[in-house]
Each structure stands twice: as structure tokens, then as C-alpha cells.
Amino acid sequence: MKKNLLLLSFGLLAFGQLSAQTEEADVKEVSLDDTYNKWTIEAGIGPAKGMRPYTEGYYSSNPNSVLGSIDFNSYNLGVRYMISPKFGFKFDASYDKFENNKDTESKPFEVQQLRFQIQGVVNASRLLNLEEHIGRFGLLAHGGFSYSRITPKLDTGIDPIAGTSNADINENNIGFVFGITPQFRILKRLALYVDVSTVYNVRQHFAWDGHYSSDDNNLQGQMITGTVGLSYSLGNRSELHGDWGVIEDKRQEELEDLDKRIGELETMMNDADKDGVPDYLDIENNSIPGVAVDTKGRMVDMNQNGVPDELEKYVNQTVKEGVNQGVAQSVEQSSSEVLKQLINDGYVAVFFDFGSVKPTPASTQNVAFILNYLRNNPSATADITGYADEIGSSDFNNALSGRRAEYIRTTLIRAGIDGARLNIVPAGEDTSVDKNSDMARRLVRKAIFHIK
């Protein structure tokens, strides 16, 4: 019984893993298929020239004209299916008509040919990662097998080799075809293309003039085609032609998401006040340097008197040293002067959120520090200087800095400080930091104090 249960457990585990892998593969496949249209139809027209062989006295090119003279004697219709954004298959059919060039001394002939070709197609633009550089342009490369039927249509009399006329005699040929297709997308789904292809037949008995070719040609034949046409992309997976469809790279998305998460972690681990507590845990991210803080970044104040213990210890030690050195000042006066210097040097500041006139919750302790000082020094007066960062217009920021200072003044007045002892100084924008840095801007959205 235990063995049966064990086998059943392993079987269910294996089936579950296989199902998960299959589902994951299906999701990836569907996701990729949904990004581009696979089917394309093509239609074109252009010149087709038989290169070799020809019977002596017969030829189709004019050596005195550009490219030997161009005659639009080939018509092509095809359909293409891309199994992936870079690779696919193509089936096309063509009708070609070969005749003597009437501007030359070639003997007359007329040959018709039907061609059917199946080829592999490579989207060279995607393969070489050129999509972003060439925009609406594109490039395909193709190659495969060709089947053709050649039929001489003009009775030229006795064939030099076979003896009898070859008119209306069909010959089936097989061969290989290779070509390239530059493209230009006109509309979202419609593209103009120019194709240049070469066909090599490996069992061609007829020459391109309709007579049997010499044994020296070894049943070989070659022709070249140039086609100008339009291609139209079918399907509803994308609004764009399949050859230009935007392919979502899942690996790239994962890398970008990972990079974003790492960036967020780096931001969370910033420590603006250098107290050893990351900002995402720091409730009071403007603590005085060198002052001990707890695990949440708050300056330690065990006796809850509004003065951090480290700062209080420093003040007491300074006063003690002053007394020991014979400084003719009382303990209270020495403490007051030290605190005054710390305040005037900017160690006690009130910070604000973007666009706000209300101090951040972490700054409440600093407002309480100033309140305690003014209460303990009734003759002291204070300038409250407000600042703003550089985001926004200068006029707005100047007014904002004044409103911030006024808010602190109002708070102190409501706490019992005479308003005549408090002076407002709107300093406007603080340009001492990089305005493109969010963390740096936080440090200048503040109000500082100057005791007189």
C-alpha cells in the first residue's frame, strides 16, 4: 500500500511539473504570436530574362541599351507565412514570356513559362537587428526550389538538333531559386517591394529561344527576374505589417523590471541624514549629525525635554569645561550661547513636503526645540527664514517660502511666544543643490532660525 501511494505521489508530481512547463510554453507561444501578423500576400510585375542557353542567332538583350533593354514580361503572385518574426515560408507562381528583342538582329522566337516556387524566407532586418535604424525600410532574403514548365509558342521550322519543330511542346524543369527583396512600408499594412531573383535549372533541355540546347550545356539553364510589387499583411494580431510588427521581448521586459526593482531598493537604502538608518525606515530623516538615533532614525531623548541626549550631553560638557577654565559666565548663560550657536548654524531646521506649508511630522521635534529655547530665553528674538526648491516659477516659490515661515511663526505664537519676537524672512529658492535630484530638493524645502 505504501509503495502504491509513493508511486502515485511521484506520478502526480511529474504530471503537475509537465503541465506547468506545457502551460508556460503555451503562454510564451501565445504571447509571441499575438505580437505580429503571420500571413502576407504579394503581387508584382517586372522583367524576366533568360541568361543561358541560347541557340546561335537568337538572343533577347540589346547590347546598345541600358541593362540590355527592359521588358515587363513577368507576372508574379505569392503568399507568405512567417513561423516566427525572423523565419518563414513562401509559395509563389509566375508567368513569363520570352521573345526576341525587335531592336536587334535576333531571329524571332516566343517561349512561355509557368513557374511554381516554394522557398524559405528570412527577415534580414530583424535577423541583423536593424529595425530601429532603417524605420519603414526592410529587407528579406529567400531561397528554395523551383518547378517550371517551358512551352515554345512560335514555329521556327526545323530544330537544329531535334529536327522537328518544338512549337507547343511542354518541358518540365526543376531547379533552385535565390533572391533578395528590399521593402518600404507605405501604409500600416501595405508595403512596396523590389525583388531580384536568380533561377538555376538542373534539367533544362530547351534553350530560351525554344530550340533544344547543345549537349555542352549539360541540361543547365539560368534566368534572372526583377519584380516590383505590393505586399499586404493579413491578420488581426497587430495594426502593422507583419514584417514591421513590434515584437515584445519578454527577457528585455524582465531585465527592465529587475532594473527598476533594484533602483527602488537603492532609493530605499538611501540615508539622507547619514545616521545609519535607511530612509524607508527613518521617521526623522533630518537628524543632527553625530547625535545617537534609535532603530527608526529618531534622535534619542530619554528625558523628553525636547533636546536630544547626545546634544544635551555635549552642551553640559561644554558648560563644564567652560567653568573649569574659569569662564566668567553662569551655567545657564553658557548653555544658552551653545544652543544659540547650533540654531544659528542651521543644525535645527524644519522641513516641508513638495508644495506644502505644513512641516513634515519628523520636523515637529525641531519646532519644539525652538519653542523651548524661546521660552527659556524671554529676551531672545528670532528670524524665521523660509526656503523653497527650484521646481515651479520663481514668483510662486518666493511666496511659498514666506508662507512656510509664516506658518512656523503662527505655530509658535499659538504656543505662547509673543509675535513681536518673531520676524519673517522669505528667502525664495535655494539654488545650492542639484534641482534634478529629488533627495537633494528635500533638503532645501525648509525653514531655519537665527536667534538675536
- Each residue of 17-65: pLDDT tens digit? 444 444 443 434 445 556 788 999 999 999 999 988 888 888 777 766 6
Per-residue pLDDT of 103-116, as tens digits, reads 777 888 899 999 99
Question: What does the pLDDT read at residue 95?
Answer: 97
pLDDT band at 236 (very low <50, low <70, confident <90, very high): confident
Is residue 379 exposed (0-12), middle (13-18) or buried (19+ Cβ within 10 Å)?
exposed
pTM of the entire predicted model = 0.51
Q: How far apart are the first and last CA of the chain?
A: 91
Question: What does the pLDDT read at residue 58?
Answer: 83
CB atoms within 10 A of CB 53: 22
Which string of DSSP letters, residue by residue, matches 161-185?
Answer: TTSS--TT--EEEEEEEEEEEEEEE
Distance between CA atoms of residues 444 and 452, nearest Å: 23
pLDDT band at 155 (very low <50, low <70, confident <90, very high): confident
Span of 240-249, 287-296, 383-392, 426-435 with lowest mean pLDDT: 287-296
Q: Report the CATH number of the 348-451 domain.
A: 3.30.1330.60
Distance between CA atoms of residues 396 and 121, nearest Å: 62
Is residue 70 predicted with pLDDT exceeding 60? yes
Is residue 94 predicted with pLDDT exceeding 50? yes
* Nearest CA-CA partner of 408 in 375, 360, 444: 360
Q: What is the mean pLDDT of the chain?
A: 82
Residue type, 303: N
Is residue 16 predicted with pLDDT exceeding 70? no
Q: What percent of the chain is modeled with pLDDT above 90?
A: 39
Question: What does the pLDDT read at residue 52?
Answer: 87
Kindly state the average pLDDT of the residues 297-311. Answer: 68
Whether residue 332 contacts residue 438, with contact meaning beta carbons closer than 8 Å, is answered with no
Per-residue pLDDT of 331-380, as tens digits, reads 555 667 888 888 888 888 999 999 899 999 888 888 998 899 899 898 89
Q: Which helix (H) or strand (E) holds 337?
A: helix 331-344
Which residue is listed with cell 506658518? Answer: 407
Q: What percent of the chain is modeled with pLDDT above 70?
A: 77
406 or 1, higher pLDDT:
406
Q: Report the CATH number of the 35-246 domain.
A: 2.40.160.20
Question: What does the pLDDT read at residue 93?
Answer: 98
Strands (E), 31-136: 39-52, 72-82, 87-99, 110-123
Whether residue 112 contacts residue 96, with contact meaning beta carbons closer than 8 Å, is answered with yes
Domain limits, the chain: 35-246, 348-451
Is residue 299 predicted with pLDDT exceeding 50? yes
170 or 60, higher pLDDT:
170
pLDDT band at 75 (very low <50, low <70, confident <90, very high): very high
Per-residue pLDDT of 1-10, as tens digits, reads 444 444 444 4
Residue type, 42: E
Q: Are strands 382-388 and 422-429 parallel, antiparallel or unpaired?
A: parallel
Cα 217 to chain centroid distance, Å, stands at 55
Question: What does the pLDDT read at residue 264?
Answer: 78
| Local structure of 295: helix, strand or coil | coil
Distance between CA atoms of residues 344 and 328, nearest Å: 23
Distance between CA atoms of residues 339 and 357, nearest Å: 26
Question: What does the pLDDT read at residue 26?
Answer: 41
Kindly state the average pLDDT of the residues 219-230. Answer: 94
| Local structure of 311: helix, strand or coil | helix
Question: What does the pLDDT read at residue 324?
Answer: 57
How far CA 402 is from CA of 192, 363, 383, 389, in Å, comes to: 65, 18, 12, 13
Question: What does the pLDDT read at residue 65?
Answer: 67
Is residue 446 predicted with pLDDT exceeding 80? yes
